Amino acid sequence: MCGILALLGCSDDSQAKRVRVLELSRRLKHRGPDWSGIFQYGDFYLAHQRLAIIDPASGDQPLFNEDKKIVVTVNGEIYNHEKLRKLMPNHKFRTGSDCDVIAHLYEEYGENFVDMLDGVFSFVLLDTRDNSFLAARDAIGITPLYIGWGLDGSVWISSELKGLNDDCEHFEVFPPGHLYSSKNGGLRRWYNPAWFSEAIPSTPYDTLVLRRAFENAVIKRLMTDVPFGVLLSGGLDSSLVASVTARYLAGTKAAKQWGAQLHSFCVGLEGSPDLKAAKEVADFLGTVHHEFHFTVQDGIDAIEDVIYHIETYDVTTIRASTPMFLMSRKIKSLGVKMVISGEGADEIFGGYLYFHKAPNKEEFHRETCRKIKALHQYDCLRANKATSAWGLEARVPFLDKEFINVAMSIDPEWKMIKHDQGRIEKWVLRKAFDDEEQPYLPKHILYRQKEQFSDGVGYSWIDGLKAHAEQHVTDRMMLNAAHIFPHNTPTTKEGYYYRMIFDRFFPQNSASLTVPGGPSIACSTAKAIEWDASWSNNLDPSGRAAIGVHNSAYDNHLSGVANGNLDTPIISNMPRMVGVGVAAELTIRS
């Protein structure tokens, strides 16, 4: 993923302003360490920090149409760019970059071209013919984007908060599936799928239709000119991503460049559930597997960096982002620039354990819709920023537009968890890949119970975070929490600890408003807490909080932390990669 920054209509075309835009753009350099670019037209500035995945040699940005009257800065991947080029035979493209089509599509179709894009993206387009501009964000919000306004009437667009928080009077999250047009003076939704209204679908479940839709989503994400791999936790979602990738990698351009044997990556505390399951899946699929270990203290030491990069104080997101942040650094050190990951399946299929308590199919479906709509504030935020912190791109096939359309059109009765019929969470997805003749995964992995990433890396990780916060946040501090933090007041010491760090980096009121809040049980929305009266007394985002559902209880994993044992050893076992460097030391300490 790249980093974009745009300052539009600031009434200042001085050299000093250009220098300031460059300074702010450099705050995003971690997202795009390969090249920097800036375009200035009067008091319009478009800056770009590039992570080169497609056409590394000539795809530098900003990008232009033929006469350079239309300029665009883009963060994203356009998977159908070759098909779109064929729709415009009279246009001459300057580069082989997948994002090169955007300026030409605007020239050909005007503002209504955005829905033609199959991919993930955030972009700002400037039309110098009339000084109008257009900004847009992908359907689900896989790429991050923020919008701000200056006292001088300027509009700011940035991939991250840190690009605009010091120079805007007010800023907020740029909503997914929307575009901002200077001609119309505001935001409007361009993404309007059938599921968005939360109407209950009735399409019968078809295993082959669902399977093929997901395979297509993975295959299109094999578009790369750089080394890549898969994130493999050993759970259902990442294991299916790895299985489908390994099955279809041979014969692709990527395989010809980097070898047909897939590389997989996993992180966890020593002895954690994920490490064991991931190794078993890797052995089954024949991947070159890379296992990273970290200690609770390693993670605690990284918390400030994580909050700075992820730009949130949400407890669940920080818990899960920290191992991913540490792992991403090691992956990038090996020369890998892109990974495919499994985010989104739990939201689409009701995979979180609290879905066991859904009272009926209507509530089940509405909750999945609410969860998908909120993804940009949680798992998408984590997956994108935890990897982009080290110049690594994460691709998420479960959030493919077409796959979502197929999956969200299924009658939710099929998604309901029914123990008497042998249906556990995400049964429709598991069943779609339960192939006896050519198995995608071992049966016990295919039907492994859901583990949230922050739990699966090792239960003592969360317990250690709580113990650390207990040492740094006093009871008196909690008594005054509502006065110090009136918005999204922390209700736990762990939450208070994260909030203090966040406010130090992002003290503006606008910044605190970009983070979601409200009660949650095992990652539920506030609405779903109504499903079980006992949950209101046990509000914790960990999957283990779904008492009576999760197979592992809290008490089984507290002894080590209670005894002050926060460390686990770090080991090293790294097979050599084809076309990828090998790090000599694997200790995940900064």
Encoded tokens for 95: 């580069």
Is 342 known as a binding-site position? yes
Nearest to 164 by CA among 378, 329, 5, 300: 5
Is 98 known as a binding-site position? yes
Q: Is the previous residue joined to 62 through a cis bond, with omega within 30 degrees of 0?
A: yes
Taking the CA atoms of 12, 17, 18 and 21 in sequence, report the sign of the dihedral they define: negative
Length of the chain: 590
- DSSP three-state, residue 11: coil
Is 267 known as a binding-site position? yes
Encoded tokens for 394: 């994460």
Longest dimension (CA), the chain: 71
Are the beta carbons of 133 and 8 closer than 8 angstroms? Answer: yes
Q: Enumerate the β-bridge partners of residue 41.
A: 44
DSSP 325-343: HHHHHHHHHTT--EEE--T
Q: How far is CA 364 from the centre of its chain?
A: 23
Nearest to 108 by CA among 141, 130, 86, 78: 86
The interaxial angle of helices 207-220 and 236-248, nearest 10 deg, is 70
Is 460 known as a binding-site position? no
Q: Strand 228-231 and strand 338-340: pairing?
A: parallel
Are the beta carbons of 405 and 194 closer than 8 angstroms? Answer: yes
Residues assigned a catalytic role: 2
Is 3 known as a binding-site position? no
- Residue given tokens 């980096």 in the structure block: 505
Query: How far is it, in rounded angstroms, from Cα 349 to Cα 208?
Result: 16
Encoded tokens for 438: 């050519």
Are the beta carbons of 489 and 482 closer than 8 angstroms? Answer: yes
Query: How far is it, in rounded angstroms, from Cα 292 to Cα 570?
Result: 8
Strands (E), 388-468: 393-395
* Straight-line distance from the first to the last Cα atom of the chain, in angstroms, rounded to the nearest whole number: 23
Query: How far is it, in rounded angstroms, from Cα 478 to Cα 489?
Result: 10
Query: How far is it, in rounded angstroms, from Cα 448 to Cα 424?
Result: 9
Q: Enumerate the β-bridge partners of residue 173.
A: 146
Are the beta carbons of 368 and 350 closer than 8 angstroms? Answer: yes
Are the beta carbons of 343 and 221 closer than 8 angstroms? Answer: no
Q: What is the 3-state secondary structure (H, E, C) of 492-533?
A: CHHHHHHHHHHHHHCCCHHHHHCCCCCCCCCCCCCHHHHHCH
Query: How far is it, in rounded angstroms, from Cα 34 to Cα 392?
Result: 11
Query: How far is it, in rounded angstroms, from Cα 450 to Cα 432?
Result: 17
Are the beta carbons of 18 and 40 closer than 8 angstroms? Answer: yes
Give the annotated binding-site residues for ATP. Answer: 231, 267, 341-342
Give the annotated binding-site residues. Answer: 98, 231, 267, 341-342
Give the annotated binding-site residues for L-glutamine. Answer: 98
